[in-house]
Amino acid sequence: MNKLNFASIEVLIEKIQNKEISSRELVEHSAKRFQAHNSKLNASLEIFDTDSILKNVKDGGALHGIPGVLKDVICQNGRKLTCGSKVLEGLHSTYDATATSRLKLASAPIMGRANCDEFAMGSSTETSAFGPTFNPWDTSRVPGGSSGGSAAAVAAGLVPWALGSETGGSVRQPAAFCGIVGLKPTYGLVSRYGLVAFTSSFDQIGPLTRTVKGNAHILSAIAGNDPNDSTSLNVEPKDYTAQLNGSIKPGLRIGVIQNAMQADGVDPEIIAATEESIKQFEKLGAKIENVQLPAMEYGAAVYFILARAQAASNLARFDGVRYGLRAQTDTLQQMYEQTRDQGFGSNVKARILTGNYVLSSGFADKYYDNARRVRQMMRQEFVDTFKQFDLLLCPVTPEPAFKVGAYDNNKLAMDLQDYFTCASNITGTPAISVPCGMTSQGLPIGVQLLGPDLSEELLLQTAYAYEQATPWHTMHPKNF
């Protein structure tokens, strides 16, 4: 097997620095990998031609010409932008997202656009208008979602990194399903400028990588204040790899979220792997205690309401006037209606309907306003809990990667995929998903560390020490 296939960013940086390989060779290698394997996965919607990819890549730069892909909800100047939807047919981005331009500044070649659930709404990448993405560990299964194309491409060794986006778990959950590392940064740490809005008050771009250090490299390139995003935090860019020394912070206190560990319906293999990971953290010197976090219990309900309400408002702009598809009709009213009817898939339509319902007069108090109040309560509980603990720990998902079509007749059950993840989005706090085991069927399992605002360095340091002490990041799917 070619050693480049599953090489991590840190290994590739060394190879580039030692002049063992050039960025053109890396880009060509990755393009060949997509050519050979993408038809089995449908991970990318488009791989650009090599010369146009390399046009922006200069010598030097923190990412040294190491290629990746961007979830197709992130603008790339002059490239198509679909959000996994037919409604944007024919649209090309007219500018770079801030994350995109910062990656280019860091000399990262961007190979293409990764498949995703339509407008990032989903947990399986089955709702893309361009067909589902498949999990490289077992192609009869989903890679998770909504950043499934990004996760599958990294896990299958087609690129060493990808950007995804999170609203309720869409980086961490596919990372767990695909056996890689996924980070959801603190709300406002990474600019949302040029990220197509789903739930503006939850959305964050996050890196998907094979290793924790790789993740820190990508975060270092994209994080930091951006005047183009009014919700961007006043944080200067920094080197998130600096703390990664293989040991954890002395006296680190980790709270294990008991209501998650004991929740109904969690696969016993997930619990067993999570418990093993806790022992490993203890060996590394962490002080482990149990904690109840009732706020997590309200997450799915609050998420259901707020995410749909904001999605309904954000997606109102796709009406045939400014972007993409325009239905040919006799009247303006028909044009709006038919563009939206033809352009949006059923999942997105259902969310828009529910979102407008919870915002409508007579119901907004009961649903939207109440959900906002519970959100504040959850935030307070998180802040209070982080006075006692440095980090919290629980599973990422209740089950490993499920079969394609498994939830076709039970969409509500699919929503429970976010049960352990969406509280971090609601409270704006960061969390990371790291591989922690394999099921008896050979499917990856992830463990989640949750931290207080702007604790990315601590999360990465802790995750790195864990990763270095365990074998999971060295395992890769066969046949790729």
Task: Tell me if residue 170 is catalytic.
Answer: yes
Contacting residue, 72, 126, 381, 418, with ligand GLN by CB under 6 A: 418
Contacting residue, 96, 126, 166, 319, with ligand GLN by CB under 6 A: 166
Taking contact as CB under 6 A, which single stretch among the options 21-29, 162-170, 234-242, 426-434 is the one that binds ligand GLN?
162-170
Taking contact as CB under 6 A, which single stretch among the options 105-113, 121-129, 260-268, 365-373 is the one that binds ligand GLN?
121-129
**Burial grade of 387 (CB within 10 A; 0-12, 13-18, 19 or more):** exposed
Does position 127 bind ligand GLN by CB under 6 A? no
Minimal distance, residue 422 CB to ligand GLN, in Å:
7
Kindly tell me which of 319 and 418 has the beta carbon lying closer to ligand GLN. 418
- Which residue in the list 23, 30, 123, 170 is annotated as catalytic? 170
Kindly tell me which of 198 and 472 has the beta carbon lying closer to ligand GLN. 198
Does position 209 bind ligand GLN by CB under 6 A? no
Task: Compose the 255-294 pattern: x for residues touching ligand GLN by CB under 6 A, - for all others.
Answer: ----------------------------------------
**Strand ranges of the sheet holding 391-395, from the earlier edge strand across to the other edge:** 44-47, 110-114, 68-71, 161-166, 204-209, 181-184, 431-438, 444-450, 391-395, 253-257, 287-291
**The two three-digit tokens of residue 103, written as one number:** 């990656």
**The two three-digit tokens of residue 81, written as one number:** 């932008």
- Given its phi and psi angles, is residue 55 left (phi above 0), alpha (psi -120 to 50 degrees) or beta? alpha
Q: Measured in whole angstroms, how far is the alpha carbon of residue 446 from the centre of its chain?
A: 14
Whether the CA torsion 306, 424, 260, 216 is positive or negative: it is positive
- Which residue in the list 15, 71, 184, 213 is annotated as catalytic? 71
Coil, strand or helix at 291: strand
Residues 335-374, interacting with ligand GLN (CB under 6 A): none
Contacting residue, 122, 430, 435, 477, with ligand GLN by CB under 6 A: 122
Q: Alpha-carbon Rg of the chain, whole angstroms?
A: 21
Kind plus residue range of the DSSP H or E element containing 128: none
Give the number of residues in contact with ligand GLN, rule: CB under 6 A: 14
Quick one: CA torsion of 50, 52, 56, 61, rounded to 10 degrees?
-10
> Is the distance from CB of 141 to CB of 397 less than 8 angstroms?
no
Task: Tell me if residue 71 is catalytic.
Answer: yes
Does position 417 bind ligand GLN by CB under 6 A? yes
Known catalytic residues are 71, 146, 170
Contacting positions for ligand GLN (CB under 6 A): 120-123, 146, 166-170, 198, 307, 417-418
